[in-house]
Amino acid sequence: MIPAIDGMETPEQGWRLVIGLGNPGADYEATRHNVGFDALDLCANRFGLPWQREQNALVVEIPEHQCTLVKPQTYMNRSGVALRQTWLHYELEEATQIFVITDDFHLPLGGLRIRANGSTGGHNGLASIEDQLGCQDYPRLRIGVGDPGCNSVDFVLDTFSAAEKSVIEETLMTSSWAVEDWVKGVPVEELQTRYNRRKPQAGSTEE
């Protein structure tokens, strides 16, 4: 477990991390489980910064905002291992210094939900992170990937259908703007007002 985290107020100074959850490797590219990776890729592209390998993660440092984008390379169920290493590297002290981006099949396709804390909702990546943090008090953005029906395992490891692509493309772009706003210091409460939604904006799914 990461050393004890005392106090949950957002620090005025100090480095911060955005953790996008997903699985490494070509077999998992563009799958529902990897939307956390995809949102961070869009954000990194706008900053014009390359991904670099750092222990068990790919990282992009954004010095002007004292923030690092992180894509764990430990596979989803061990996301907390990569978090622990980057946490110690940057000498973080508060759970509020991280922002986790993850898929959520409990949300409709295109839905977005930002929360300051909460349960794992049965998500193995979040469970691994919570195990390392020892608490639930970290902000997270859940990206709706649709209803899996009775087979959630195969569903999250599958790619989006042609009919879903326009929805998820808009959703990922919007998610990347939410990430960028957090990187730039926008409070979680304001991010919730700006981005939380049950479905995409009208017109965003048009071909």
Give me the CATH number covering residue 123: 3.40.50.1470
Whether residue 10 lies inside any domain: the answer is no
Whether residue 204 lies inside any domain: the answer is no
Q: Which domain holds residue 119?
A: 22-27+43-164+181-195
Task: Give the pLDDT band of residue 10 (cuts 50, 70, 90).
Answer: very low
Whether residue 128 lies inside any domain: the answer is yes
What is the structure's pLDDT at 149? Answer: 86
Residue 99, classed as helix, strand or coil, is strand
Whether residue 76 lies inside any domain: the answer is yes
What is the structure's pLDDT at 12? Answer: 53
- CA-to-CA distance for 70 and 60, rounded, in angstroms? 7
Active-site option among 33, 65, 89, 123: 33
Residue of 25, 30, 33, 31 lying closest to 125 (CA atoms):
33
> In this model, does residue 3 exceed pLDDT 90?
no
- CA-to-CA distance for 124 and 79, rounded, in angstroms? 9
Whether residue 203 lies inside any domain: the answer is no
Whether residue 145 lies inside any domain: the answer is yes
DSSP 109: T
> In this model, does residue 156 exceed pLDDT 60?
yes
- CA-to-CA distance for 86 and 89, rounded, in angstroms? 5
Give the count of domains, the chain. 1
Whether residue 118 lies inside any domain: the answer is yes
Examine the residue annotation and report whether 33 is marked as an active-site residue of this protein. yes
Whether residue 4 lies inside any domain: the answer is no
Strands (E), 10-66: 16-20, 52-54, 57-62
* pLDDT tens figures, 97-138: 999 999 999 999 999 999 999 999 999 999 999 999 999 999
Q: Poorest-confidence range of 1-5, 160-164, 166-170?
A: 1-5
